[in-house]
Structure 1
C-alpha cells in the first residue's frame, strides 16, 4: 500500500481541483472508485414478488452462480414502482439465511426430536389427515333434518404474506372441503 501524502488529502483536492463544493471526485477515495454494485456481477435477473405482505411489490432478484446476491425493487412493477419497504429490501437475508429450513421436519407424537421427512411423504401425511378429519367430523344435516354439508374438523387461517390470488384459491379449496371456519390474518 502506497504511503499517503498531503496531495492525497481530500480538502486539498477540493480546493485545487474542479470540485470546489466537495461533492464528487475530490472526496472520492481510490477504494470507492474501485467498488461496483452487486447487481453488475449477476448472471441473471429474475422478476419476483415480495413474500412479506399482501401488497405484492415487484422485485428484481439478482442471481450469480445459482445464489441470490441482491434483491431490489422492480421499477416496472405498477404496484411498487421500484420501491421496497425495509422488510422487502432485506428479503435477500430470508433466502440466504443459514438458519433457513430447506427440508421437511417431523416430530412424532410424544417424540422429543425432529427427523427429516421426504416431501412426498409429508404431503401424503397431511392429505390423509385432512381427509380423515373431514370424514370423522362431517355434518350432513342438523337435528331438524336441514342440510348442512359441512365439516367442523377442518379450519383454515391464512396469513398476510399471501397475495389475493393465493388467498382466493385457499378459500375455494377449504370451501370445497366443507370447512366453514376460514379466516385470514389480514381480516382479523
Structure 2
C-alpha cells in the first residue's frame, strides 16, 4: 500500500479535504464499517415483547431467524423505555438461548444427592398433591371466637419479575380461591 493510498484512506484526511469537515458522515466511515450490516437485517420476523427481569416493563423487539431467537433489542415504540434497556434487559437473549438453560423438569428427592428428570404430568401431580395436603393440614374454618375465617397460612405465593400483570392477576385469583392470604409479587416489594 502506497503512502498516497494510505493518506486518502485515512478518515482525518477525508474529513479535512472533503465536504464533511466535522466528521459526522461519510468522512468518518471506513470501507469496513460501510460493509457492515445490522444483526437484525437478516431476521425472518420480529415480535414485540416485554423484558422479563423487573416490574418496569421495558419494551423489547425479538428478532427470529429460522425459528431461533437471534437478537433482542429495546423497542423504540415503547412509551416506557423508548428503545432503551438496562444491562440485564440487554442481555436477555441469553435467557432464552443459553446452553445452560434447563429444558426438563428436574427433581431432587428429600435427602437425595442426585437430580432426576421427571415428565411434566408427574411433576404437576406432585405439586397438586402437596398443595392439597398443605391446605388440608393448615385450614382454619373459624377463629377462637367463632368468626368465619376460611383460610390457610400453610400456602403462600411470591411471584417473580418474569410474570406479567395478567399472570400475577390469575395467580392472585387462584391462591385466593384456595384460601391463601399471603400473596405477593415482585412488583409490589
TM-score bin, normalised by smaller chain: 0.7 to 0.9
- Match of residue 185 from structure 2: 184
1:138/1:38 CA distance change after superposition, 3 Å? same
Q: 2: distance between equivalents of 1:47 and 1:148?
A: 44
Q: Which residue of 2 aligns with 1:56?
A: 57
Which 4+ runs in 1 deviate beyond 6 A? none
TM-score (norm 2): 0.87
User: 1:5 maps to which residue?
Assistant: 6
User: CA, structure 1 residues 118+139, in 2 after alignment: closer, same or farther (shift >3 Å)?
Assistant: same
TM-score (norm 1): 0.87
The match for 2:107 is 106
Q: Say whether residues 1:82 and 2:83 are aligned partners.
A: yes
* 8 Å Cα contact 1:54/1:164 also seen in 2: no
What is the alpha-carbon root mean square deviation over aligned residues?
2.1
Gaps of 5+ in 2: none
CA deviations on 1:36-89 (whole Å, 9 max, x unpaired) are 111111001011111111222221100111111111222333333333333222
Relative to structure 1, the CA distance from residue 185 to residue 54 in structure 2 (aligned partners, 3 Å threshold; closer, same or farther) is closer
The answer to whether 1:67 aligns with 2:87 is no
Q: How many residues align?
A: 187
Q: Deviations over 1:6-32 (max 9, x none)?
A: 332222222332222222222322111
Unaligned runs of 5+ in 1: none
Change (3 A) 1:11 1:80: closer
* Structure 1 contact 41–64 (Cα < 8 Å) conserved: yes
